[in-house]
């Protein structure tokens, strides 16, 4: 972790100090931070605003693209933050930390405060995500247990062990929520799509939050055998994008589970995928692939 802190000492001189008294040690106040922790997905733009969030040790810092002097420090962890995500609406952030108190915190971005704290994760948090409707949080810890929480009341929805799905060299590389599960008439049901990758495999599921049921979904990746590194669903949830350490991205149909296409995007491996809506502007500085259909 590489972080540079800028501390400015503020001392209150309004009250005179008697010579015979021992002056109190003046407090140190963190006024500005430069840099960020080198954790995956440690920087996020807040949708619909000019602000962005980044991890600095055990603190989340909110900064503003239009005001270089603005910084807001969100403190709620007692160890280094290892996972961070922002909801699609920009209303919530979810963070997780390492250490004995491996808590997952849900933040109200507008009010810069914690609204839920989940303490079921053990040893440390590897990955977090929040559903498209901001109602469910998913987290995976170093105990390799997938856990789902209800944002509204902080309750546990369900959990599932993952060790039996993993190879000895595997770890949890990424997790991602998709859209609502649709029936044969393309009507939304109560279920939601969810996916995780362990490096050697990709595991999609459907989650029924009302029954706590997690159902595996068939996926055919025989034509795309890689070390998988990143996953994201399309806006409508009909496509799953899978990045690899080889530097290519596969587009998978959620309904059929088959690979529709693959595209070479970089040389040193895909570390993050961002699905950009078709109406959003882009300057061409990143590799982009147009969704078809």
- Answer yes or no: is pLDDT of 220 > 50: yes
Q: What is the pLDDT of residue 262?
A: 92
Q: What is the DSSP string of 105-168?
A: EEEETTTTEEEEEE----SBEEEEEE-TTS-EEEEEETT-EEEEEETTT--EEEEEE-GGG--T
Q: What is the pLDDT of residue 293?
A: 38
Contact 116, 142 (CB under 8 A): no
- Answer yes or no: is pLDDT of 208 > 80: yes
| Coil, strand or helix at 74 | strand
Please report which confidence band the pLDDT of residue 6 belongs to, taking 50, 70 and 90 as the band edges: very low
Q: How far apart are CA 259 and CA 222, in angstroms?
A: 9
- Answer yes or no: is pLDDT of 156 > 60: yes
Percentage of the chain modeled with pLDDT above 90 = 62
- Tell me the CATH class for 165-276: mainly beta
Please report which confidence band the pLDDT of residue 5 belongs to, taking 50, 70 and 90 as the band edges: very low
Domain ranges of the chain: 28-161, 165-276
Out of 100-104, 155-159, 161-165, least confident range: 161-165
Q: What is the pLDDT of residue 119?
A: 93
- Answer yes or no: is pLDDT of 210 > 90: yes
Mean pLDDT of the chain: 86
**Which residues touch 267 (CB under 8 Å, ≥6 apart)?**
247
- Answer yes or no: is pLDDT of 23 > 80: no
28-161 CATH, one of 2.130.10.10, 1.10.10.410, 3.40.640.10, 1.20.120.80: 2.130.10.10
Q: Is 165-276 the same fold as 28-161?
A: yes
Out of 9-18, 195-204, 225-234, least confident range: 9-18
Which residue has better confidence, 34 or 8?
34
């Amino acid at each position: 972790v590489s972080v540079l802190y800028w501390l400015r000492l503020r001392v209150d001189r309004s009250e005179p100090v008697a010579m015979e008294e021992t002056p109190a040690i003046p407090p140190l106040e963190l006024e500005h931070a430069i840099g960020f922790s080198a954790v995956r997905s440690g920087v996020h733009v807040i949708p619909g605003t000019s602000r962005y969030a980044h991890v600095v040790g055990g603190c989340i810092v909110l900064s503003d693209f239009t005001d270089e002097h603005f910084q807001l420090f969100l403190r709620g962890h007692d160890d280094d933050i290892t996972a961070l995500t922002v909801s699609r609406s920009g209303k919530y952030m979810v963070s997780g930390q390492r250490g004995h108190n491996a808590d997952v915190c849900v933040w109200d971005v507008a009010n810069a405060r914690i609204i839920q704290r989940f303490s079921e994760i053990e040893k440390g948090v590897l990955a977090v995500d929040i559903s498209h409707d901001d109602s469910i949080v998913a987290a995976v810890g170093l105990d390799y247990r997938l856990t789902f929480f209800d944002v509204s009341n902080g309750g546990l929805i369900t959990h599932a062990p993952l060790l039996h799905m993993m190879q000895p060299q595997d770890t949890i590389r990424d997790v991602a929520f998709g859209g609502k599960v649709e029936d044969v008439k393309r009507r939304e049901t109560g279920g939601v799509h969810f996916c995780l990758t362990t490096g050697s495999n990709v595991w999609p599921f459907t989650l029924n939050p009302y029954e706590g049921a997690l159902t595996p979904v068939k996926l055919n990746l025989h034509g795309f055998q890689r070390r998988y590194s990143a996953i994201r669903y399309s806006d409508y949830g009909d496509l799953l994008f899978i990045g690899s350490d080889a530097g290519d991205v596969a587009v998978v149909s959620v309904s059929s589970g088959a690979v529709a296409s693959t595209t070479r995007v970089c040389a040193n491996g895909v570390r993050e995928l961002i699905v950009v809506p078709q109406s959003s502007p882009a300057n061409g500085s990143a590799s982009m692939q147009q969704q078809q259909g």
